[in-house]
Amino acid sequence: MKVIKVKDYEEASQKAFEIFRDQVKEKPDSILGLATGSTPIRMYELLAEDHKVNGTSYKNVHTFNLDEYYGLAPTHPQSYYYFMTEHLFKFLDIDLNNVNVPKGNQDIQAECDRYNAMLAENQIDLQLLGIGSNGHIGFNEPGTSFDSVTHYIELDESTRKDNARLFFDGILEDVPTHAVTMGIKNIMEAKRVVLIACGDNKATAIKGLVEDEPTTSLPASILSTHPDFTLIIDEGAASKLDK
């Protein structure tokens, strides 16, 4: 595990941007695993700015997103497909046929099977992650098996509250209760993984990830065993670390 400690969110976003930009420059047909939520927004802005100014091309890149809310169509303003379009895809030269986000409004088991089959044929070169305050990655909540693959899951109340605070106009009742998510096994099969964590509310989870043994009660803790894992943390997220 490589730990990069930075001052704040802006610096964390810059570090992550550099890793992803360099990946695409070195391998123009990279397969990228992408995340949603508030954490990657600035990194996506930097990727868009770099494409506009420097012409870094994404025309041969394929992407796989981690998750999607159950019951939301891709056109729904709070769907993760919509999020990715508004924050990244529409600013790049990426072929939307190469963009993959789980479909939350399809037959769920069939969709999970379809997504797993695609991931089996397309190993992710570089996977981006955020982390929930309860240690979830993707929507793999505490208790999720490390052997899990893409599945349908009920969201913890803490996750729904966090997401209501950031999105859905703060209305908890509007946050879906379930989601479709890549499993932890899918995530661990990526060649490289980068996780960004910022803020005091992530400090307990980060301490468990860095200092404790892997446990399903803290899903992100398994990342400490990944052969090429980079953790980018700001001062708030690092505030409880002993080392």
Is residue 141 exposed (0-12), middle (13-18) or buried (19+ Cβ within 10 Å)? buried
- What does the pLDDT read at residue 55? 97
Which two three-digit tokens encode residue 103? 């479909």
Question: Residue 62's beta-bridge partner residues?
Answer: 31
Percent of the chain with pLDDT over 70: 100
Per-residue pLDDT tens for 160-172? 998 888 788 899 9
Q: Using alpha carbons only, what angle is made at residue 191 by residues 13 and 228, rounded to the nearest 5 degrees?
A: 65
> What pTM was estimated for this model as a whole?
0.94
Residue 106 DSSP one-character state? S
Let me know if 136 is a catalytic residue: yes
β-partners of residue 229 are 193
Q: Judge whether 141 counts as a catalytic residue.
A: yes
The percent of the chain in helix, strand and coil, each rounded to the nearest 5, is 40, 20, 40
pLDDT digits (tens, 9 = 90+) for 191-209: 999 999 999 999 999 999 9
Catalytic residue among 87, 136, 151, 226: 136
Residue by residue, DSSP assigns 19-85 as HHHHHHHH-TT-EEEE--SSTTHHHHHHHHHHHHHH----TT-EEEESEEETT--TTSTTSHHHHHH
Predicted confidence at residue 163, as pLDDT, reads 85
Q: Is the pLDDT of residue 188 over 80?
A: yes
Q: Is the pLDDT reported for residue 243 higher than 90?
A: no
127 bridge partner residues:
33, 193
The single residue of 50, 51, 65, 67 carrying the catalytic annotation is 67
What percent of the chain has pLDDT above 90?
90
Cα–Cα dist 84/67, whole Å: 11
What Å distances lie between residue 137 and 77, 159, 194, CA to CA? Answer: 22, 11, 12
Residue 193 has which token pair?
């993984």
Of the given ranges (50-59, 70-79, 82-91, 219-228), which has the lowest mean pLDDT?
A: 70-79
Beta-strand pair 2-5/62-65: unpaired
State both tokens at 58: 């994404």
Whether 98 is catalytic: no
Q: For position 167, what pLDDT does the model report?
A: 85
pLDDT at 166: 75
pLDDT at 189 over 90: yes
Confidence of residue 214 (pLDDT cuts 50, 70, 90): very high
Segment 31-75, tens digit of pLDDT: 999 999 999 999 999 999 999 999 999 999 999 999 999 999 999
Whole-number mean pLDDT of the chain?
Answer: 96
pLDDT in tens, 124-152: 999 999 999 999 999 999 999 999 999 99
Averaged pLDDT, 98-110: 94
* 233 pLDDT tier (thresholds 50, 70, 90): very high
Determine whether 200 is an active site residue.
no
Annotated catalytic residue, options 50, 111, 125, 141: 141
